[in-house]
């Protein structure tokens, strides 16, 4: 690491520490920039390059994690949670939750009590999978080597949601990806919640052609965050929809496969299977 890059890295580390320690006062950009001795403009650009998100968004993520803890573990009221998080009132807390989590703070607090989730198990070329959907679209696909454990992981996110084991039309459309043309991917509806950064990464993954591979660095370049390859890796690891959002097509720049939530053996098999599918299609033309 060059000397200036090392200095910038230390500045970002100091800024992150400052934000974590002072999030309850909701510090402005200029205040944080002053702490690391750079102009607000330079700090905004530098922080975004290194952290993969803006200082404002990072502050929002810290704030919402604190709010989630208060709502879930301490059963605090929405008003008290907003005040303790440094927000001016429950309306700002509401806006923050909707923006970051895709739900209201009340919905989060009640564990998805008003959310209905259909789920089913199915076989794929790579083992048993669990696929789940809401009225809006597919919200979860995971390889289920242990069916009970896989279902419990789904329930952990929304413990109070209503679950029904049923194969609906949305799930059937999603399962077609193992036997139909990927060019029809647009017919599958998704219901995802995540940060703007995560959603950008997942959207970019959907654009990787079947049978092709890319790198974490290339994804970072594509979303215009060239120094955020590590943050990209984290977002890829948080992908809630296995195979359909093809995080298995991302490898290290060295050519090594890199990690995979459901095992590198399965990742290798998926890459090989897709290459064979593409080769077969080409040979038929």
Active site residue 247: yes
Interhelix angle 40-51/3-22, nearest 10 degrees: 90
Contacts of 127 (CB under 8 A, 6+ apart): 143, 144, 145, 266
Q: How many residues does the chain have?
A: 285
Contacts of 116 (CB under 8 A, 6+ apart): 134, 135, 161, 162, 164
Pairing of strands 214-215, 250-251: parallel
Beta-bridge partners for 165: 119
Q: φ and ψ at 71, to 5 degrees?
A: -70, -40
Q: Among candidates 145, 190, 137, which has minimal Cα distance to 168?
A: 137
As given in the structure block, the two tokens for residue 225 are 């965050």
DSSP 127: E
Q: Among candidates 206, 284, 205, which has minimal Cα distance to 251?
A: 205
Please identify which of the residues 117, 151, 247, 250 carries the catalytic annotation.
247
- 270 C-beta neighbours (distance < 10 Å), count: 20
Strand, helix or coil for residue 162: strand
Is there a contact between 58 and 26 (Cβ–Cβ < 8 Å)?
no
DSSP 117: E
User: Could you list the active site residues?
Assistant: 247
């Amino acid at each position: 690491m060059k000397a200036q890059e090392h200095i910038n890295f230390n500045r970002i580390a100091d800024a992150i520490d400052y934000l974590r320690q002072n999030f309850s006062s909701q510090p402005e950009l200029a205040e944080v920039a002053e702490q690391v001795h750079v102009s607000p403009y330079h700090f905004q650009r530098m922080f975004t390059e290194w952290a993969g998100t803006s200082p404002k968004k990072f502050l929002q993520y810290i704030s919402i994690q604190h709010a989630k803890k208060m709502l879930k573990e301490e059963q605090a009221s929405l008003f008290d949670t907003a005040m303790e998080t440094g927000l001016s009132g429950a309306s700002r807390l509401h806006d923050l939750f909707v923006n970051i989590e895709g739900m209201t703070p009340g919905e989060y607090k009640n564990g998805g009590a008003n959310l209905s989730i259909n789920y089913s198990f199915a076989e794929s070329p790579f083992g048993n999978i669990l696929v789940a959907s809401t009225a809006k679209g597919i919200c979860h696909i995971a390889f289920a080597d242990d069916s009970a454990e896989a279902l419990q992981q789904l329930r952990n996110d929304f413990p109070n949601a209503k679950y029904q084991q049923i194969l609906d039309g949305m799930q059937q459309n999603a399962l077609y990806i193992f036997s139909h043309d990927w060019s029809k991917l647009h017919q599958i509806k998704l219901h995802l919640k995540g940060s703007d950064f995560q959603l950008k990464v997942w959207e970019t993954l959907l654009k990787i052609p079947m049978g092709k591979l890319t790198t974490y660095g290339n994804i970072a370049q594509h979303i215009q965050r060239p120094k955020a390859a590590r943050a990209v890796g984290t977002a890829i690891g948080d992908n809630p929809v296995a195979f359909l959002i093809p995080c298995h097509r991302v490898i290290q720049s060295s050519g090594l496969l890199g990690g995979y939530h459901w095992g590198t053996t399965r990742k290798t098999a998926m890459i090989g299977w897709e290459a064979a599918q593409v080769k077969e299609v080409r040979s038929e033309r």
